[in-house]
Amino acid sequence: MATTLSCAILFSGNGSNMQHLIESLHHKRFKSRQKDTAQEYEIEITLTLCNNPSAYGITRTKNLGVPCEILPHKHFATREDFDKAMINILHTHKIEYIFLAGFMRILTPAFTQKFKIINIHPSFLPEYKGAHAIKDSFYSSSSYGGVSVHWVNEELDGGEVILQEKVVKLPNDNLETFEARIHECEYSLYPRAILHALGLNEAVSQDFRATDSIRTESKLTDSHITESTSFSPAQSKTSTHKVSQ
């Protein structure tokens, strides 16, 4: 019998990364990378949470049949109050891991120290942190941009990198085409990085739709893999990995 890992996705907008994560991971079974165990784990996207009532991603969650909590941050006087409300919701659903997918809020330590949180950022960190990373990297003198998936810590976009890939600028690129290739890289890299971080390996389910994107890399990117702290899911309740932002 597979052990279920209860996960949540936080988003604020279009929700394309969220949709790809759900389609790639939700109700799929995976083997542990530990060679001395045959234990299988099933990832369950138990909940999505959105702070923007007008976000198109809410429609995506309905179409995918995944519960969505809408919690407008403007209804709260302080960032701390908003985070406390999120904590209550996530604890009610017994969430173990949180994946940020375009969640446009800076989280307080009071929130992040209670969960293991993974984020995706559209640059080859530590280069070009912040909200304008794609534009900043495109107009820079660098020959590439990139995508990084990292643990969340107290520094904005500064947590330990799990996996990252470069996206090389092409001679005929404009900002729009470059951004489109960044997003394609995100869709491939994020589920792979989550499996790496959770200490999981190949999919067990035969109907796993994202096998190709998990096991292969985009032809438009140069791969750079950073080995980082990964959790055995069995350690989920006892890990002391600190994540705050």
Q: Which residues participate in the annotated binding site? A: 15-17, 79, 104-107, 119
State the catalytic residue, choosing from 20, 75, 121, 183. 121
Residue 226, number of CB atoms within 10 A of its CB: 15
CB 134 within 8 A of CB 122: yes
Which residues line the annotated binding site for (6R)-10-formyltetrahydrofolate? 79, 104-107, 119
Question: For residue 92, what is the DSSP state?
Answer: H
Residue owning tokens 């643990």: 151
| Whole-number Cα distances in Å, 45 to 71, 113, 117, 152, 179 | 18, 21, 14, 19, 27
- Residue appearing with tokens 């590439």: 144
Task: Give φ, ψ of 139 to 5 degrees.
Answer: -90, 5
In contact, 204 and 19? CB cutoff 8 Å: no
DSSP states along 171-209: TT--HHHHHHHHHHHHHHHHHHHHHHHTTEEEE--TT-T
121 is catalytic: yes
Length, in residues, of the chain:
245
Whether a cis peptide bond, with omega within 30° of 0, leads into 67 is no
CA angle 139, 145, 149 (to 5 degrees): 135
> Tokens standing for 206?
């035969």
Closest by CA position to 185, among listed 137, 231, 152, 115: 137
- The set of catalytic residues is 121
